[in-house]
A and B are shown apart, each in its own frame.
Chain A
Amino acid sequence: MKTLLSTRKLKSAVVFISLLAAFLLALLLVGHIVATVTYRGLAVVASNFPRIFFDIPAVPGVREVGGVGPHLLGTALLVTIAFSIGVPISLLAAIFTAESLKPWERKLGKMTRLMTHMLIEFPTIVVGLSVYGIMSALTPYMKTLIPGFKPFSLLSGAVALFLVSVPYMYAQIEDGLKSIPQHVREAVYSLGAGRLLTSYILLKYLKSTVYAALSIGLARMVSETAALFFTAFGSDVYPLFDIQMLFRPIGSLTLAVYYFGLTGYENWVDLSWAASFILFVLSLVLFIASRLLLRGR
C-alpha cells in the first residue's frame, strides 16, 4: 500500500518537475528575446532619442547610426492603407458568412470561409510573390494609365499586407458572430430588424471581440516581413511626396531589421537592433491592447 502511494507520488513529482522545466524553458526563451532586444535596442534608441525616428540611416562604418525615419513612415503608410481597406472588407465578409440565409448565400459563405482558412495557412512569402506576379502582369496595362506604375510599390505592399492579415480578422469576427446563441439572433430579428441592422446590433454586442480581432490584424501587419520583400521592396531614403508616391517602393521597419542586421557594419547592426526594439514596443502595445479589450468582454 505504502509503496504504491510512493510510486504515485514519484510519478506526480516527475510530471510536475518536467512541466515546470518546460514552462521555465519557454519563459527563458521569451525572456531572452525580450531582454536582448531591449538591451541592444533601448541603448541605441535612447542615445539617438529624437533623431532615430526622423533621420535616414547613416552611412556604414561611422560612429553615428542615423535613424529609421523612412522605414517608420513606410510602415505607418503601409499599415494605414492596408488596414483601412481591410477592416470594412473583413467585417462585411464576416457578417455575410455568419448571417447568410438563402442556400446560395450559405454555399458562397462556406466557400469564403474555406478559402480564408487556406489563406491563413499560406506562407506569407508566397503571398508576397503572388502579389508581385499579379502586379508585374498588370504593369504593361497600367502603364498607359499611370506612367510610373511599377510592381515594387507602396500599393503592392499594402495589398500584400491586406492579404496577410484580413483572413485573421475575418476568421475571428466570424467566430464571434457564430458564437452568439441562435435565440439572441432570433430575438433581434423578431423585433422586425433587417439583416444589416441585426448584424450591427450583434456586432455591438461583440464589441470587444471585434476590437481584439482588429488589433491582432494590426499587429500582424506591423510585424510582417516576408510578404514585403517583393512588394514594398524597401527604401532607405524618404520617398518623393507627390501623387506618384503610391507607385514607388517604400521602406518598412521589418525590412530594415533584416537588411541592416545582415551587414557587417557595427552602426548598421545597431540600427537593426533599434528598429527591432521599436517594432517590439509597437507590437507589445497592440498585444496588450488586444488582451485588455478581450478581458472587457
Chain B
Amino acid sequence: MKNLKLVAVVGVIAAVVVLSVVGFTATQNQLVRREVVTVTERVTVTQSPAVPVTVTTPVVVTVTVTPTPTPTPTPRPTPTPTPTPTPSPTPTPTVTIGPTSITGGGATFVNPQMQLWIRRFMEVTGGRTSVNYQSIGSGAGEAKWLEGALDFGVSDIGISKAGYQKLVDGRRRFIQIPIIAGSVAVIYNIPEFARAGCELRLSGELVADIYLGKIIKWNDPRIAELQDSKCRTYLPDKEIYGVHRSDGSGTTALFTMYLTLISKEWAEKISYGYTVTWPRDQMGLGEGARGNEGVSAKVLNTPHSIGYVEAAYAIQQKIPVAFVRNREGRFVKPDATTVSEALKRAAVDLPGPQEFWGDLPLKYYMNREGENTYPIVGTPVAFMYLDAPRELRLALYEFFRWVLTEGQKAENIVEGFIPIPEALRVKALQYLEALIST
C-alpha cells in the first residue's frame, strides 16, 4: 500500500513536469520556429563560400599594404616572396580521405573560436572529418600531446622549454603554427575618471612598478605626467588595488612576458610564466581571481583597482581598457588594427616551425615598432606531429588549412576575436605544407 502511495505521488510529480514542459513548448513554439529558420539560414550562408578560391585575392591586397611602413631598406629577406606562398590555389579538399576523427585540446582562450571553426568546417566537409577540441588548459594540452594522447595541442604561448627538450631528445618531427591573434588588455576602475570622462594612459614601466609595489597611489606623479592635462587632477589620492589571475593562464604568461621585456627589475625579480608571485599581494594591495570573468568582476566591483584580461573578453564585456604606450611613444588600445599591426611585423622574422616558440611573443610579437602598434600581443599556437600516420596528417592539414583560409574570414570569427594578419597567415600556411610534403 505504502508503495502504491509513493508511486502515485511520483506519478503526479512526473505528470506535472511533463505538462509544464509541453505548456512551455506550446507557448514558445514561435520562438523555436524562428530559431530553426536562423539555423538553416546560417547553414546556407556558410556553405556557399565553401570554395576557397577567392582566398588568393586578399593575399595580394594586404601584401601591398605591408611594405608601406618603409620596410624596403631592411635586409629581411622573407617577406617579399609573398605571392609564392599560395602554393595550393586549387581547393585542396580534393585529397580524398576516409572518415577520420581528430582529437585536440589545450588553451581555454581559443575554445569558443575553435568550436565555431569545428562546426563550420564539419558543415563544409559534410562531417567526413570529425574534429574534437576540449579546453583542458594550455599546460595540460601540451602535456597530453607530448604523451601522445592528443592529435594536436593548442597553447597560448607555444611549447614550453621542458616540453621542447623532450621533443628534441625524442627526435620527434613536428610543426607549430599561429592560428589566431591574442592580446592582453589592461583594465581599470577609477570612478573619478569615469565621471570626468577621462581615459587612463599607462606605460609598461608603470604597470610593472604598480605590480611590483613601487607605485602605491593613483595620484603618483609618474602616473599623472602621462595623463591628458585636463585629466590629471582627477587622479584620486587612493591606493591602487592590483588584481591578477589566480589560476595558471596564458593571459598571465603574455602579460608577465611583456613586463619582463619592459622592466629590468621585473625580469630579475619575477620573470614570466603561467603563474608568478605577485609582490603587490604581499603588501595587502592586491589579490588573485579565477579566470577572465573573475578578474573583470573583481575590477568592476573594486573602486581604484587595476587588472588585466584577454582583450577579446574586455571588448566583448565593454570593460574600460587603458591606453598603453608603445615603442614609438604613442598611446594605443588593443583592437583589430593595432593588434594586427604588431603581428604583421612579426611575420617577417618568424622562426621556423620546428624551433623553440616558447618565448615567441617576447622576442617577436611584443613591443614592435610602428605608431599604431599595440605592445602586448601573442598568438595561440597549434602543434602537431609530422611523424603521425598519413591519414591523420591529411585530416589535420585539411582542417588547419581551412582554419587559416576560410576560418580567418569575418563570418567565421567569434565576436571579440581578431584574425591573424595576412602576412602571418601566409607564413603559417607555408609551414602547414610540411604535413603533406613528407
Q: Measuring CB to CB, which residues of chain A are less than 8 angstroms from any residue of chain B?
A: 42-43, 45-49, 51, 56-57, 59-61, 63-64, 132, 136, 139, 147, 150-152, 229-230, 233-240, 242, 248-249, 259, 262-265, 268, 281, 288, 291-292, 295-296
A150 CA to B133 CA, complexed, in Å: 15
Please tell me if the beta carbons of B115 and A152 are within 8 angstroms of each other in the complex: no
Contact with A along B5-44 (1 / 0, CB 8 A): 0110010000001001100110010011001001100000
A167 CA to B99 CA, complexed, in Å: 39
Please tell me if the beta carbons of B134 and A234 are within 8 angstroms of each other in the complex: yes
Give the A-B pair count, Cβ closer than 8 A: 116
Cβ of B101 within 8 Å of any chain A Cβ, yes or no, is: yes
Q: Known pairs A139-B148, A233-B105. 9 more at Cβ < 8 A?
A: A42-B21, A51-B32, A59-B119, A64-B35, A236-B132, A238-B130, A240-B130, A249-B103, A265-B112
Q: Offer 9 A-B interface pairs, CB within 8 angstroms, sorted by A.
A: A42-B21, A47-B28, A49-B21, A59-B112, A60-B115, A233-B103, A233-B134, A259-B134, A295-B6
A249 CA to B144 CA, complexed, in Å: 13
Please tell me if the beta carbons of A151 and B149 are within 8 angstroms of each other in the complex: yes
Q: What are the 8 closest A-B residue pairs judged by CB atoms, nearest first? A: A46-B24, A60-B112, A49-B25, A59-B116, A235-B132, A47-B28, A64-B35, A151-B149
A264 CA to B415 CA, complexed, in Å: 12
Instruction: Give, as a whole number of angstroms, the nearest-CB distance from A133 to chain B.
Output: 10
Please tell me if the beta carbons of B414 and A59 are within 8 angstroms of each other in the complex: yes
Cβ of B265 within 8 Å of any chain A Cβ, yes or no, is: no
In the complex with contacts A61-B414, A235-B132, A292-B6, A240-B103 CB distance below 8 A: no
CB nearest to A244 among chain B residues: B101
A227 CA to B122 CA, complexed, in Å: 29
Cβ of B180 within 8 Å of any chain A Cβ, yes or no, is: no
Please tell me if the beta carbons of A136 and B149 are within 8 angstroms of each other in the complex: yes
A264 CA to B389 CA, complexed, in Å: 37
**Across-interface contacts of A63 in B (CB, < 8 A):** 35, 38
A19 CA to B147 CA, complexed, in Å: 54
**Across-interface contacts of B134 in A (CB, < 8 A):** 233-236, 249, 259
Please tell me if the beta carbons of B119 and A56 are within 8 angstroms of each other in the complex: yes
Main DSSP-derived SS at the B contact region: helix
Instruction: Give, as a whole number of angstroms, the nearest-CB distance from B371 to chain A.
Output: 32
Please tell me if the beta carbons of A264 and B101 are within 8 angstroms of each other in the complex: no
CB nearest to B108 among chain A residues: A262
Cβ of B204 within 8 Å of any chain A Cβ, yes or no, is: no
A268 CA to B293 CA, complexed, in Å: 14
Please tell me if the beta carbons of A240 and B149 are within 8 angstroms of each other in the complex: no
Instruction: Give, as a whole number of angstroms, the nearest-CB distance from A31 to chain B.
Output: 15
Cβ of B405 within 8 Å of any chain A Cβ, yes or no, is: no
Contact with A along B229-246 (1 / 0, CB 8 A): 000000000000000000
Cβ of B118 within 8 Å of any chain A Cβ, yes or no, is: yes
Please tell me if the beta carbons of A46 and B21 are within 8 angstroms of each other in the complex: yes
Cross-interface CB contact of A43 among B24, B119, B136, cutoff 8 Å:
B24
**Across-interface contacts of A240 in B (CB, < 8 A):** 99, 101, 130
Please tell me if the beta carbons of A262 and B291 are within 8 angstroms of each other in the complex: yes
In the complex with contacts A47-B28, A59-B116, A63-B35, A152-B150 CB distance below 8 A: yes
Instruction: Give, as a whole number of angstroms, the nearest-CB distance from A111 to chain B.
Output: 33
A263 CA to B10 CA, complexed, in Å: 35
In the complex with contacts A43-B24, A139-B148, A150-B103, A237-B116 CB distance below 8 A: no
